[in-house]
Amino acid sequence: MITLDNVTLTFPDGDSRITAVDHVSLSAPAGIVTGITGPSGSGKSSLLAVAATLIRPDSGHVWINDVDAATLTRNEATALRRDEIGIVFQQSNLVPSLTAREQLLVMAELGGGRHRHRDLVRARADELLEAVGLAKHGRKRPAQLSGGQRQRVSIARALVNNPSVLLVDEPTSALDQDRGAEIIDLIARLTHEQSTATMLVTHDLVHRGALDTLVTVVDGTITDTDVPATTQLETAGVQ
Ligand code: ADP
Ligand code: MG
């Protein structure tokens, strides 16, 4: 579960400041895809960066499960991010020299995996490559993979340390519509399977069907929340 409580974020803008996120309160429960949509420049990426604890807000709180990120030291926030938050950006940001499987192993090495037995880490990497449909491509480097396959690797990499929160920013912007729909469907399936609290930013409402909840942001403010029917939430195991 991730909760933003009355979060405001401003950036310097000449002599004044621009408000990117304006008193936003939002909860994303486990096992659910909370979609975030809105026009370009409305503050979606800023919201996600605050949720990821990459940017500290001017005011308000970010709760990751029972932890208030604002109370953490820089090192504690880094550890929280590493262990509890998986992030997928618009571009896949893979390391060019590493194979798909190695991208996952390195992330596990940096995270909780360093305390785990090597065989368990490898098994987790292989399980995730299989889950994203890349079991046969684990030895390929990014240049040998398609855009959609690279995004699949970055999704698997984001999940390798079993995060409770998955944050995804416009993952389909570099893909054609069919590949994009496959990626959104994959994120939805993994969210349900791995029970991550997922926040997914997309400006493309063609993907509405795969999102459990849809929040609309305009000028840094939530203008609409399309909450799923209770039955859907119950199916997903949310109380
Ligand atoms: P979206 O992701 O919805 O397109 P953003 O969160 O990127 O919107 O941007 C929201 C607003 O904040 C915009 O006006 C943008 O110009 C501004 N902004 C975003 N990041 C920065 C930054 N690092 N410095 C200054 N202004 C920023
Ligand atoms: Mg953005």
Distance from the Cα of residue 235 to its chain's centroid: 22
Any ligand 1 atom below 6 A from CB of 16: no
Domain count, the chain: 1
**Dihedral of alpha carbons 195, 199, 203, 209, sign:** positive
Q: Give the atom of ligand 1 at the shortest distance from the alpha carbon of 42.
A: 3
Q: Is residue 98 part of a domain?
A: no
φ, ψ dihedrals at 184, nearest 5°: -65, -40
pTM for this model (two decimals): 0.92
Q: Is residue 120 part of a domain?
A: no
Q: Is residue 31 part of a domain?
A: yes
Q: What is the mean pLDDT of the chain?
A: 91
Q: Is residue 43 part of a domain?
A: yes
- Which segment, 72-76, 126-130, 226-230, is predicted with the most confidence on average? 126-130
Q: Is residue 210 part of a domain?
A: yes
- N-to-C CA span, the chain: 12
Domain CATH code at residue 77: 3.40.50.300
Of 44, 46, 202, 203, which is best to mutate to test ligand 1, by the most ligand atoms within 8 angstroms of its C-beta? 46
Q: Is residue 106 part of a domain?
A: no
Q: Is residue 113 part of a domain?
A: no
List the helix and strand counts (H, then E) for the chain. Answer: 7, 10
Q: Ligand 1 centre from 176 Cα, in Å?
A: 25
Any ligand 1 atom below 6 A from CB of 40: yes
Q: Is residue 168 part of a domain?
A: yes
The string of pLDDT tens digits covering residues 130-154 is 999 999 999 999 999 999 999 999 9
Bridging pattern class, strands 221-226 and 213-218: antiparallel
The string of pLDDT tens digits covering residues 174-196 is 899 999 999 999 999 999 999 99
Distance CA 220, CA 158 (A): 26
Residue 215, pLDDT score: 96
Q: Give the atom of ligand 1 at the shortest distance from the alpha carbon of 38.
A: 3
**Ligand nearest to the backbone CA of 39:** 1
Q: Determine the structural domain holding residue 13 and report its residue range.
A: 2-92+164-235
